[in-house]
Copies of this chain bind each other. A is one copy, B any other.
Amino acid sequence: MAMKTDPGRFFEDFNIGDRLIHATPRTITTGDASLYLALYGSRFALTSSDEAAKTMGLACAPIDDFLAFHIVFGKTVPDVSINAIANLGYAEGRFLAPVFAGDTLNATSDVIGLKETSAGDTGIVYVRTTGFNQHKVGVIDYVRWVLVRKRDNASPPPSSVVPELKSALGGDELVVPNGLNPRAYDTSWSGQSARFDDYVIGEKIDHVDGMTVEESEHQIATRLYQNTAKVHFNLYNESRGRFGKRLIYGGHVISLARALSFNGLGNALFVAAINGGRHVAPLFAGNTVFAWSEVLDKAIPKGQTDIGALRLRTRAAKDHPCADFPAETADGKAHPSLILDLDYWVLMPR
């Protein structure tokens, strides 16, 4: 009679070259899209309107890029991070194709890096995860690295392999959805006139609005993603833990920041890439999230003339409106309000 519940992988259980086939195939529905909208209040036109999407050459409204990301990410949790202490970073994340209601997502992860920490009780695991649809077409890929407990501190360390990762994807590596006609875009859909050419490198945008998060909201969101990380759901355990309360899934903050960014970036149709991201500090229920963005770079994706890419650095803060653009202090420390520092590319019509 074998053990029926899986304690998850410890650091020793990962080997370079392993391919982890993640569980839980998931068909996305308009119900998922509706719930996602209701959780974050997104107003980007293409994910809100089938008609807008058709006008631009798509079959219907795609789901929000970060909804697809969270669903793919959720699948990796039981295999990658159930025994993780910390999510250390993301890199080389690309959105390869839009996801539509009716698509079924699956995911695999390849172990591409391993490095035991000096204390010898944990190690860093690097995985490259690919989410793909029912046609085996990749929709998202990204690298994530996490700090994972060892099962036994006495286990010998593996050979260290640390992958070389780009600090940012180049504009020519970004994928513009197949068949998209950016010329058909209509700024009346967003009510904002600023297009790609109206943004300037170095420009800072305060997204003004704030959104308070409730326990049930982040729980509903995180379950929607079938993300099983215990810290988000289990008050009994967490009340005895480090923070004394449930910790909100970092992806929830990313989605809030993206939805808030509509105010000032309303024509940023798609997220094309995630260059890197850091959950600077934890978010808890009752906090109000604000955000601001800085334009880090601009590029024209390969073969495109009518759509450009903005490289953005969006910082989210808690209980601190962002008119003062809270960032890092002179000594390199993050402003105490900061909870997210995300570096990513968005696509915007010219």
Contacts and interface: CB of A to CB of B under 8 A. Distances in A.
Contacts of A290: 236
Given A1-B198, A34-B34, A210-B234, 11 more contacts: A5-B207, A5-B264, A23-B43, A24-B190, A24-B191, A38-B221, A51-B104, A79-B191, A210-B237, A212-B215, A236-B320
A27 interface: yes
A29 interface: yes
A45 B105 CA distance: 12
Given A29-B34, A43-B24, A194 B50 contact: no
Interface string A257-288: 00000011110000000000000000000101
B212 A41 contact: no
A26 B34 CA distance: 11
A228 B214 contact: no
Interface string A54-78: 0000001100000000000000001
A40 B226 CA distance: 9
Contacts of A188: 21, 23
B32 A190 contact: no
Contacts of A220: 38-39, 217
A30 interface: yes
Interface in A152-191: 188-191
Interface in A201-216: 203, 205-212, 214-216
A25 B41 contact: no
A4 B205 contact: yes
A269 to B, nearest CB: 13
A52 interface: yes
B39 A52 contact: no
Given A6-B192, A24-B191, A236-B288, A104 B49 contact: yes
Interface string A310-325: 0000000001110000
B5 A41 contact: no
A22 interface: yes
A33 interface: yes
Nearest to A194: B4
Contact of A265 (B4, B206, B321): B4
A24 B51 CA distance: 11
A320 B319 CA distance: 34
A79 B191 CA distance: 9
A238 to B, nearest CB: 9
A26 B53 CA distance: 11
Contacts of A237: 210, 288, 321
B25 A189 contact: yes
A23 B34 CA distance: 18
Contacts of A208: 5
A45 B24 contact: yes
A257 B35 CA distance: 23
Interface in A248-262: none
Contacts of A344: none
B41 A228 contact: yes
Nearest first, the 7 A-B pairs at minimum CB distance are A31-B34, A23-B191, A41-B223, A236-B288, A25-B49, A31-B31, A29-B30
A180 to B, nearest CB: 17
A134 B198 CA distance: 30
A38 B5 CA distance: 22
